[in-house]
A and B are shown apart, each in its own frame.
Chain A
Amino acid sequence: MNIQKLKTGIPAFDLISDGGLPAGRTTLLAGSSGSAKTLFGAQFLAMGILLYDQPGVFVTFEEQVDDIRKDLQSFGWEIEKWEAEGKWKFIDASAKEEDIITIGEFDLSAFRIRLELAINKINAQRVVIDSIGSIFTHFPEHNIIRREMSKVSMTLRRLKVTAIITTERSEEYGPISRYGVEEFLTDNVIILRNVLANERRRRTLEILKFRGSSHVKGENPFTIIPMKAIMIVPISAMTLNQKASSERLYSGLPKLDDMCGGGFFKNSIVLVSGATGTGKTLLVANFLNGVKQKQERALLLAFEESKEQLFRNAKTWGMDLAQLEAEGYLKVVCLYPEVSSLEDHLINIQELVVAFKPDRVAIDSISALTRNPSERGFQEFVVALSNFLKHEQVTSMFTATTHMLTGDASVPEGNIASITDAIILLRYVEMMGEMQRSIMVLKMRGSNHESSIRRLTINQTGMQIGEPFTGISGILSNNPKVTK
């Protein structure tokens, strides 16, 4: 049995839900307060109108209709216009000022009749009821409400509308809903979370179950952007369709190409790891400058330096990046890592890549985006970003800063090392009272590569890869010894 899905039109949700919400069914959307339940519901209706010409009914038990109209304006949705055109209809069931006193048995048949009337009037295919918890606060008789809401869900089923009913949760990782509504709304459950982790808000969406239908499991981070509303970051859904290329790409330095067995692979992710001053940014500049050979396009996302600073430095190394930019081969975007969340950065990067269509992308540095590399969100970010870049068939270079000046065999941000296809180590070597630089290719997936550690010098002509440190061992363990 596979249930038909209705495309929501919410970016990436249709991907992780394998086609959208179960069509003609009701999905329970559970979340703590402030987890964007109302927005998700409203977006479901707005996208229906904008993309699929499907009218929708919005039932509010909580917020006042006027407030909802106003709040949704910031996403560019003209609710009032849609109401006038018969595409959007509110049922205002929000709490009003006057007291409600209940004396004896009652039912919610009036609500069901109003709902059916509204659905039929605009021929609605989508319905949102926000939120079921508020009905329970309106009426203290919870047994009656549970019975009546199960009748409401039967009405929705009979009318064959695709519906979302929102419900409150008191804990992020506790029971599905505060009022036990999952007893009758049990087939399809989505959970929205808004967790505070490492002093950062992290929003996620999890499809807990879709009965008789496939979907991606686990939590998917999302963010809320003006004019776009909820943007989900699909982590696992994108890993499916990447091609490993055997084609090579010029690394920017002929010697480095040799060390890698003939250049970087196209669509691969190269991680450059080194302490401050070891030449990471210079290696990036070479990588960008490498587009000249075949007239490719490169995008640099700089999190540490300004464009002017970078261009000036590149000039002293003999590379005219300003000229490349003027000719349209290079685009440099400087971003402050602290300004937005990782999800926002990811979406920002995705938009830049889609718009500029680069062959190469450099991120200098990826470690600027995290203060705590063990953070789970950071790992997810790197996975999603790598998947996206590979999907777009971009060759990428990420730099990562290590903290120890010399030695340090480990690659920082250990979590991202396994995701990358190639790792280049830049290390200081303290030898005979002198600090020298070194370069080595630690890993090159799918290819032979040189295993020696070579001397690296940086001067007016840029980066010079020299001879291997022969007869010396213990460089990476910070204990170099002449073994001759």
Chain B
Amino acid sequence: MTNYWIQLFINRNSPTSVGAEENLNAILKKYFPGDYQLEIIDIQENPEKTEEAGILAIPTLIRKWPKPEVRLIGALTLQTRVLTGLGIVVQEDK
């Protein structure tokens, strides 16, 4: 049973998407080890899912769980902002 369910919509042809995937993996491994489920969705392979989720921009991160749903757009380059966006308060020096 994991506490976080996260979807990341990417486009493998785009360098910003690759960067986002790496950045997100690093954050999740560091702050939520074993406590998350990550689904990477390539829009080229899954246009229907992209349509269903109403994605416009790439990369888009959706925190499906816990509710409410949160969406982050962009390469996720700023760790602290990603964590705030996901609703995590991080203590410094940890």
Contact = CB atoms under 8 A, between A and B. Distances in A.
Interface stretch (A39-47, A97-105, A154-162, A257-265): A97-105
Nearest to A91: B51
Interface string A215-233: 0000000000000000000
Contacts of B55: 110-111, 114
A462 to B, nearest CB: 74
Contacts of A101: 70-73, 81, 85
Contacts of B14: 107, 109
B58 interface: yes
A93 to B, nearest CB: 6
Interface residues of A, number: 24
Interface string A92-127: 110010111111111111110110011000000000
Interface string B18-43: 01100000000000000000000001
A104 B47 contact: no
B74 A113 contact: no
Contacts of A110: 9, 11, 43, 50, 55-58, 60
Contacts of A93: 54, 56
Interface string A59-92: 0000000000000000000000000000000011
B58 to A, nearest CB: 5
Contacts of B72: 101-103
Contact of B77 (A96, A100, A103, A117): A103
A139 interface: yes
B90 interface: no
Contacts, number: 94
Interface residues of B, number: 33
B54 A107 contact: no
A103 B82 contact: yes
A106 B47 contact: no
Nearest to B44: A113
A104 B69 CA distance: 20
A113 B50 contact: yes
B75 to A, nearest CB: 3
A98 B70 contact: yes
B78 interface: yes
A96 B60 CA distance: 15
A92 B20 contact: no
Contact of B56 (A103, A108, A118): A108
Given A98-B70, A103-B75, A106-B16, 17 more contacts: A91-B51, A93-B56, A101-B70, A106-B59, A106-B74, A107-B11, A107-B14, A107-B57, A108-B58, A109-B43, A110-B55, A110-B56, A110-B57, A111-B57, A113-B44, A113-B50, A114-B47
Would you list the 3 A-B pairs with minimal beta carbon distance, nearest first?
Answer: A104-B75, A104-B74, A104-B77
11 contacts: A93-B54, A99-B71, A101-B71, A103-B73, A105-B75, A105-B77, A110-B57, A110-B58, A114-B51, A118-B51, A139-B73
